[in-house]
Amino acid sequence: MNILITDTTIIPMAGDQRLWFSGDIGITDSQIAHVGTVPDSFQADTVIDGSNSIVLPGLINAHNHLSMTLLRSYADDMDLFSWLHYKIWPIENRMTAEHIYHGSLLGAAEQIKSGITAFADMYFHQEQTIRAVLDAGMRANIGATFMGDEQASLQRVGAYRDLFAEYDGSGDGRIAIDIAPHAIYTCGGRTLEIASDLAAELSCRLHIHLSESLQEQADCFDAHRMSPLAYLHSRDFFKVPTYAAHCVHLSREDLELCGQLDIHAVHNPTSNLKLGNGVAPITEMLKRGMHPALGTDGASSNNNLNIFEEMHLASLIHKGQTGDPTAVSAYQVLQMATTYGAQALGIDQRTGSLEPGKDADLIMIQTDVPHLQPMHDPIAAVIYAAQASDVQTVICRGRILMHQRVLQTLDEQAVIAHAVEAAEALTS
């Protein structure tokens, strides 16, 4: 199917140049065919009026626990380790595959309505999250999670090889399988090695929580006399490209080591602030040429999957923290949510920017609303003023997932009803 978007404002995110322009976009089947000027010979099956809209790449949520939507507002105003030990882990032990599916569907619906076309997940019953992603039409890196000791981890290796063989590249390439050891405080040393070795064997990526809290940092120094990052490096963990969630407490030495290794930090400002964990050194990362991505974390610690809130926070807290109003510009934040996120997930050859030949992953933001007018600078408007509710149309690989705020691949009310029922059964 050919789709033509006419007379719109385009933010292509192609390269480091801060750029926008007016024009049209032509989509042929799953790919972008034209950006800016579409030839008269282009035959469109569907024409979308892009006037009073901004078109930009689909947003990328580089760290999530999708089905934790069922635990939204279940455990709040607690520190990280109390939150995990006393609230989250006990109820997670009761979660079934069906819980995971309905929670994942709810999260997929919420993400589409927030303009997210791709995300990275780390959780259990991965087949159920994959099932929800395929139903929704999104793109996802699904983490095969490791926790616990060597014996428990060795028992998972065969199942994860099978998971990779069956699902990596499925959904016309929308699904990627990554290996996701949870964190140094939930994985023994041998578990970390087993996970890293498996990722190297499968030639996939690693997804891990890293340096999220001061307690994690202190416990690691007590046990190993080094930082969490240095500890992982000492175990030859970083055999493949790695995206690491949080990275709040990286030292200068850690940042230098990150520069030597293929590590992408994932900034989760809302979750880090809400759990009292602090603010990641994003300004320093950018100065060093690092490309941090952006994530929401799960809806149990956020409490939503609204990437616009993350962009807005990321654009402000570093200015306030440093006293420098030029710290972390609007364009850099938009890079974090698009091109840098695609790099972190290893999908930058397919998505993250609007260029001919790339997959047609894009969103349309309505601009004829009071809080977005007058439109002096579309990039500033997206970061400092736009809301998730301004996203009108979402397209992933040329398939329309939402148009005029109506989901096209999911029955929104049925998804909500099933998720509420599942959450009530889980918490009763």
Return d(Cα 149, Cα 151) in angstroms, integer.
6
> Which amino acid appears at position 18 of this protein?
R
Backbone φ and ψ of 240, nearest 5°: -130, 165
For residues 381 and 54, is the Cβ–Cβ distance under 8 A? yes
The DSSP code for 187 is B
For residues 25 and 34, is the Cβ–Cβ distance under 8 A? yes
Return d(Cα 399, Cα 1) in angstroms, integer.
9
Backbone φ and ψ of 120, nearest 5°: -115, 130
Question: What is the full per-residue pLDDT of the chain (428 aa) written as tens digits?
Answer: 999 999 999 999 997 778 999 999 999 999 999 999 999 999 999 999 999 999 999 999 999 999 999 999 888 888 888 988 888 889 988 999 999 999 999 999 999 999 999 999 999 999 999 999 999 999 999 999 999 999 999 999 999 999 999 999 999 999 999 999 999 999 999 999 999 999 999 999 999 999 999 999 999 999 999 999 999 999 999 999 999 999 999 999 999 999 899 999 999 999 999 999 999 999 999 999 999 999 999 999 999 999 999 999 999 999 999 999 999 999 999 999 999 999 999 999 999 999 999 999 999 999 999 999 999 999 999 999 999 999 999 999 999 999 999 999 999 999 999 999 999 999 88
Query: What domains lie within the chain, and their CATH numbers?
Result: 2-58+352-407 (2.30.40.10), 59-345 (3.20.20.140)
Backbone φ and ψ of 32, nearest 5°: -75, 125
The DSSP H or E segment spanning 362 is: strand 362-366
For residues 376 and 20, is the Cβ–Cβ distance under 8 A? no
